[in-house]
Amino acid sequence: MCGIVGYVGSKNATPILLDALEKLEYRGYDSAGIALVSSNGIEVKKTRGRISTLRSITGEVEAGGCTVGIGHTRWATHGEPSDVNSHPHLSRSERVAVVHNGIIENYIELREFLAEHGYVFSTETDSEVVSELIDYYYNGDPIEAVRKAEMQLKGSYALGILFKDYTDQIIALRKDGPLIIGVGEGENFIASDIPAILKHTRSIFRLGERELAILTKDGVTVIDKYGERIEHECEHIDWDVDAAEKGGYAHFMIKEIMEQPEVIAKTINPRIINDKRIDLGLKRITDDDLRGIKAIKIVACGSAYHVGVVAKYFMKKTLGIPVEAELASEFRYDDPIVDEHTLVIIISQSGETLDTLYGLREARSRGARVISIVNVVASSIANESEDVLYTWAGPEIAVATTKAYSTQLVLMNLLNWHIANVKGLMRDDEVARAITQLREIPEQMNGMLSDHEQMQYLASLFFNCHSVFFIGRNIDYALSLEASLKLKEISYVHSEAYAAGELKHGTISLIEDGTLVIALCTYRPLLEKMVSNIKEVKARGAKVIAIINHDDTQTEGVADHVVRIPECSEYAIPSLTIVPLQLFAYYIASHKGCDIDKPRNLAKSVTVE
């Protein structure tokens, strides 16, 4: 996600803004910029790259001594990282400058509307429409202009806004995106996150949903969405900087686990038209191309591969064609049988995993059509794919992926249904119903996350175990793979994921008194088999935690502990089942005092073979 800062006071704003942006660097970014307003107008300095690069181009502005400004670090979602795509965006009239965090879901129609009124755009971003839309409505009253523009916006936004005619103020506005107000002595601040302003003030309040704030050096006025003035009590922040960077969470991993509902919604919503149609925005692979697809191969590594194994089950069932998930490191040496009628789906959070990149190149060299699902805009895999579908999970800091995995899962559903609809295998009304069910996931997931104590308790019972077996059948087996990897990579506890039916063919010899087995039992057609498998391992002394459906009464009497997922559609089950298993891994590692965000021997992006 992007980072926003703003300062209004009596000091030179430039060094304050630059320092504040540096405090947000941990969030990940690819470009940065500042805008300053004075009697000379609005001055914008922005660049692709690091804040140190931005410092090198703001030197002359520093001499100007402007005392009011906004700043931004950009994590690209729409439009590749570049100087022109970075924020702040200054309207062509040079009357309005904006920094934006979030996603404007209807930016294409807004660009069309503004173009009809003579506006011209110079970037590929969704954010640029915000500055031009405010300019469109501006007739001397900044608040009226902002509110009128806001009424046209769909999506999420945290905004910092400067007006050329108002050199003593910043306007801030938010919906869905975080924005805090820092209250100082003769100076006031806006920021996406506390670390940015902790050096200047520990008195902050969080702007409420659709509240608009007007900041001057003498005070902050807040107006709610009804136009009524409201007061906010300041809270005193006693965090240190390290805690502040994690939003008060102990680790980035748990912060990112908790962010999953929000980023799933951010990844789904901009691709749903009128609540019933999918628009993936594919640019090169046409519907005719998709109609001609006779086989699908999903190629990835690690957790991204595990997403592919889950998706494989759904896609085979929906599309009725061969669908395989393959490890990229194997695929590229396996003389893969692919051709122009094969769709290869590449999945990668970083977009830089070398095994996966080579798998992509192997597929393309053999004529396959390639769509990639990537979290980092303009990454190597994104750039070498025919089409790319970005997950909008924001920067993922923890080495162990959680929110990127979850956004990949839901995006694969949309891709599956789009292909099925194009092939005439899913009617429009069936797609609409599936979309409705998919959009229930964030709320269902929030419910599970609020009940994280159960997993904390179970982790306290089993954190000393030396080996854990995750077993499941069909999609539950696919989920077992990811659950096992999560536990291994952050807690260093040995673990194996096993197709439950396979256990008896050898590995069950390892089950002994006290061995922990986590049985995933959400796939209803094979529940009876899973109950038998649980009995098999219990007969050999295992302790069993079962992940079960909301209405499962069979497993409850057999397992030692049960964790229920809420009532949900079959499409939602993987997204919901993985949550307690992520939490279990996290709390086990936490009990063991592991370096959870940076596990030993691991890198966030494996750019070696």
Other beta carbons less than 10 A from residue 117's beta carbon: 8
By C-beta, is 201 or 350 nearer to ligand AGP?
350
Q: Which of residues 57-116 bind ligand AGP (CB under 6 A)?
A: none
Q: Is residue 2 among the annotated active site residues? A: yes
- At 584, list the tokens: 């279990």
Interface with ligand AGP, residue 379, by CB under 6 A:
no
Q: How far is the CB of 152 from ligand AGP (least distance, A)?
A: 36
Residue 83 pairs in a beta bridge with none
Distance CA 403, CA 256 (A): 6
In terms of CB distance, is 307 or 530 closer to ligand AGP? 307
**Cα–Cα distance between 489 and 586 in angstroms, integer?**
10
Query: Which one of 288-296, 344-352, 359-367, 530-538 is the stretch in contact with ligand AGP (CB under 6 A)?
Result: 344-352
Catalytic residue chosen out of the listed positions 154, 316, 598, 604:
604
Q: Using CB under 6 A, which residues numbered 480 to 519 contact ligand AGP?
A: 489
| Among 38, 356, 491, 533, interactor with ligand AGP by CB under 6 A | 356
Structure tokens at 149: 């523009």
Q: Identity (one letter) of the amino acid at 595?
A: D
Residue whose CB is less far from ligand AGP, 304 or 415: 304
Cis peptide before 88 (omega within 30 of 0): yes
Number of residues that bind ligand AGP (CB under 6 A): 15
Q: Measured between alpha carbons, how far is 388 from 293 in angstroms, rounded to an integer?
A: 17
Question: Nearest-CA neighbor of 498 among 512, 510, 513?
Answer: 510
List the structure tokens of 386: 């025919």
**For residue 118, what are the β-bridge partners?**
none
The residue among 287 and 595 lying less far from ligand AGP, judged by its C-beta, is 595
Among 342, 401, 474, 484, binds ligand AGP (CB under 6 A): 401
CB of 445 to ligand AGP, least distance (A): 18
Q: Is 581 near ligand AGP (CB under 6 A)?
A: no
CB 471 within 8 A of CB 533: yes
Question: Which of 225, 218, 223 is closest to 168 using CA atoms?
Answer: 218
Smallest separation, CB 484 to ligand AGP (Å):
11
Of 399, 419, 441, 568, the residue at the interface with ligand AGP (CB under 6 A) is 399
CA distances in angstroms from 14 to 19, 20, 30, 38, 61, listed in the order given: 9, 10, 20, 12, 8
In the bound state with ligand AGP, the residue whose beta carbon lies nearer, of 86 and 348, is 348
According to the binding rule CB under 6 A, does residue 446 interact with ligand AGP? no
Residue 258, C-beta contacts closer than 8 angstroms, at least 6 positions apart: 249, 449
Q: Is residue 234 flagged as an active site residue?
A: no
Q: Report the C-alpha gap between 533 and 552 in whole angstroms.
A: 16
Q: Are strands 68-74 and 219-223 parallel, antiparallel or unpaired?
A: unpaired
Q: Are 53 and 30 in contact (CB under 8 A)?
A: no
Footprint of ligand AGP on 295-334 (CB under 6 A): 301-304
Q: Which of 353, 391, 407, 590 binds ligand AGP (CB under 6 A)?
A: 353
Stretch that binds ligand AGP, among 80-88, 350-358, 525-533, 537-545 (CB under 6 A): 350-358
Shortest distance in whole angstroms from residue 577 CB to ligand AGP: 17
Asked if 349 is part of the footprint of ligand AGP (rule: CB under 6 A), the reply reads yes
Contact 8, 168 (CB under 8 A): yes
**Which of 1/197 has CB closer to ligand AGP?**
1
**Residue nearest to ligand AGP according to CB distances in the complex:** 302
Q: How far is the CB of 349 from ligand AGP (least distance, A)?
A: 3
201 versus 401: smaller Cβ distance to ligand AGP:
401
> For ligand AGP, which is the closer residue by CB, 431 or 589?
589
Min dist. Cβ of residue 373 to ligand AGP (A): 9
Smallest distance, Å, CB 459 to ligand AGP? 18
C-alpha span between 367 and 295 (Å, rounded)? 13
Instruction: Tell the smallest beta-carbon distance from residue 602 to ligand AGP (Å).
Output: 6
Considering only 32-40, 58-66, 347-355, 473-481, which stretch makes contact with ligand AGP by CB under 6 A?
A: 347-355
Q: Which two tokens stand for residue 438?
A: 């998919």
Question: Which one of the listed residues 2, 66, 521, 568 is annotated catalytic?
Answer: 2
Distance, CA of 215 to chain centre:
30
Neighbours of 62 (CB within 10 A): 15
Binding span for ligand AGP by CB under 6 A among 221-229, 255-263, 394-402, 438-446:
394-402
Residues from 232 through 291 that contact ligand AGP (CB under 6 A): none
Stretch that binds ligand AGP, among 207-215, 398-406, 410-418, 575-583 (CB under 6 A): 398-406
Minimum gap (Å) between residue 242 Cβ and ligand AGP: 22
Identity of the residue, 353 or 549, whose beta carbon is nearer to ligand AGP in the bound complex: 353
Name which of 192, 439, 408 is nearest 306 in CA terms.
408
Which long-range CB contacts under 8 A does 507-510 form with residues at least 24 apart?
A: 507/469, 508/536, 508/537, 508/540, 510/467, 510/469
Beta carbon of residue 9, minimum distance to ligand AGP (angstroms, whole number): 42
Least separation, in Å, of the C-beta of 23 and ligand AGP?
A: 26
C-alpha to C-alpha distances, 120 to 35, 160, 173, 355, 389, nearest whole angstrom: 21, 22, 25, 42, 27
Binder to ligand AGP among 253, 298, 360, 400 (CB under 6 A)? 400
Count Cβ atoms below 10 Å from residue 553 Cβ, excluding itself.
8
Could you tell me the sign of the dihedral formed by the alpha carbons of 132, 138, 140, 145, in that order? negative
Q: What is the secondary structure of 444-496 as a DSSP string?
A: HHHHHHTTTHHHHHHHHHHTT-SEEEEEESTHHHHHHHHHHHHHHHHH--EEE
Tell me which residues are annotated as active site. 2, 604
Per CB under 6 A, residues contacting ligand AGP are 301-304, 348-350, 353, 356, 399-401, 489, 605-606
